[in-house]
Amino acid sequence: MERKNSPNHNRYSTLDLKWKDEYNTGIAEIDYQHQYFLSSIKRITTVMMEKNEHAYCQRLFMELVYYAKFHFYSEENIMMHINYARLKEHQELHRDLIDLLTNRINSIDDNMDEYHKFVQFLLKWFVHHSMEEDKKIASSKEVTVVKPL
């Protein structure tokens, strides 16, 4: 197990992985899934701090990619349900991230620095996408016709 003053511990402890109110879009289903997504990133960093096991980290990243696919599909269904005008553009952002994640995961070898950069990238993408793009879904005029699923 990594000690608290190890380089890996310091590296990951600087990442802010706590859920914040400002991440909420106002659509409960999306917010619930976003919380799970963030907690998955947190779990990966914990494993990276404690184990440094390449094969296991890669499996956890793959789990995250599968979850992202599920979440995007689910979010797109909500957009379809409300006839969201910007569905196609939003779908493209989702598709781009999945392509990027898949390519990146396959090219990471056992270099833990690469994993670290990957986690930083994911966190940045998550914060930007949920606060900028997903909030537009919640603030669109169509959302008022949403009935509980």
Question: Where do contacts with Fe ion occur on this chain (CB under 5 A)?
Answer: 75, 134
User: Rounded to the nearest whole angstrom, what is the least distance from the CB of residue 8 to Fe ion in the complex?
Assistant: 31
Tokens 């400002």 appear where?
22
Q: Which amino acid is at 97?
A: L
Which CB sits closer to Fe ion, 64 or 75? 75
Which CB sits closer to Fe ion, 63 or 92? 92
User: Rounded to the nearest whole angstrom, what is the least distance from the CB of residue 113 to Fe ion in the complex?
Assistant: 29
Pure H helices in the chain: 7-13, 28-50, 54-81, 87-107, 112-128, 135-139
Which CB sits closer to Fe ion, 75 or 118? 75
For residue 115, give Cα distances in angstroms to 55, 61, 111.
12, 9, 7
The radius of gyration of the chain from alpha carbons, rounded to an integer in Å, stands at 17
User: Rounded to the nearest whole angstrom, what is the least distance from the CB of residue 94 to Fe ion in the complex?
Assistant: 6
Which CB sits closer to Fe ion, 54 or 129? 129
User: Rounded to the nearest whole angstrom, what is the least distance from the CB of residue 87 to Fe ion in the complex?
Assistant: 11
Query: Which residues lie closer than 8 Å to 3 by C-beta, 6 or more apart?
Result: 9
Q: Which residue is nearest to Fe ion (CB)?
A: 134
User: Rounded to the nearest whole angstrom, what is the least distance from the CB of residue 90 to Fe ion in the complex?
Assistant: 6
Query: Which residues lie closer than 8 Å to 116 by C-beta, 6 or more apart?
Result: 11, 12, 48
For residue 107, give Cα distances in angstroms to 28, 66, 87.
35, 17, 30
Which CB sits closer to Fe ion, 49 or 143? 143
